Amino acid sequence: MKLLVNIDVPGLDMGIAFYEGALGLTHTSTIDDDVAELSGATCMVYLLEKAAGSPTNPSAAGTRRYARHWTPVHIDFVVDRIDEAVERALLASARQESDYVEWMGATCVTFSDPFGNGFCLIQFAKETYRAAKPSGLKINKL
């Protein structure tokens, strides 16, 4: 099975600029003038240009909005140096939504992109959560 990540944005140029600047992804191609393919993660990331207020799908009553919103699915980007990744994201206009949180051998900071999509930056002490000895949740202030 292969994983692809699709992220709705109100404009491709803005989306490309943010995800290249914040996460170091590379714009590799544009498809049909409204889809941007980005590489540099362990899966391909596609930015889909969708107007605010457009239907989320043909059979749903909901419409897209680019204010901060919540969804039960979000993206975590695993980084080697979290302090540098946080600084890069902030310089690209990400909104930091949490302090540094340490849990199960990982350090995590939550953000939203300029379009309201939530994401996390995570640095593992080892390869994954399971590689660490379980411990309680610890909050570190900035």
- Report the CATH number that the domain containing residue 133 is assigned in CATH: 3.10.180.10
What is the chain's percent helix, strand, coil content, to nearest 5?
20, 35, 45
Residue-range definition of the domain harbouring residue 139:
74-142
Number of domains in the chain: 2
Pairing of strands 44-49, 95-96: unpaired
Q: How far apart are CA 127 and CA 138, in angstroms?
A: 20
pLDDT at 141 over 80: no
Taking residues 40-50, what's their average pLDDT? 96
Taking residues 90-115, what's their average pLDDT? 96
Q: How far apart are CA 19 and CA 42, in angstroms?
A: 15
pTM metric for this prediction: 0.85
Q: How far apart are CA 95 and CA 113, in angstroms?
A: 6
Quick check: is 60 in a domain? no
Quick check: is 27 in a domain? yes
Round the average pLDDT of the chain to a whole number and report it: 91
Quick check: is 85 in a domain? yes
Pairing of strands 44-49, 35-39: antiparallel
* H or E element that contains 24: none
Taking residues 51-55, what's their average pLDDT? 92
Mark whether 141 and 84 lie in a shared domain.
yes
Lowest mean pLDDT among 11-20, 37-46, 131-140: 131-140
For 78, the token pair is 């695993």
For 130, the token pair is 């399971």
Mark whether 139 and 96 lie in a shared domain.
yes
Mark whether 46 and 84 lie in a shared domain.
no
Q: How far does CA 34 lie from the centroid of its chain?
A: 19
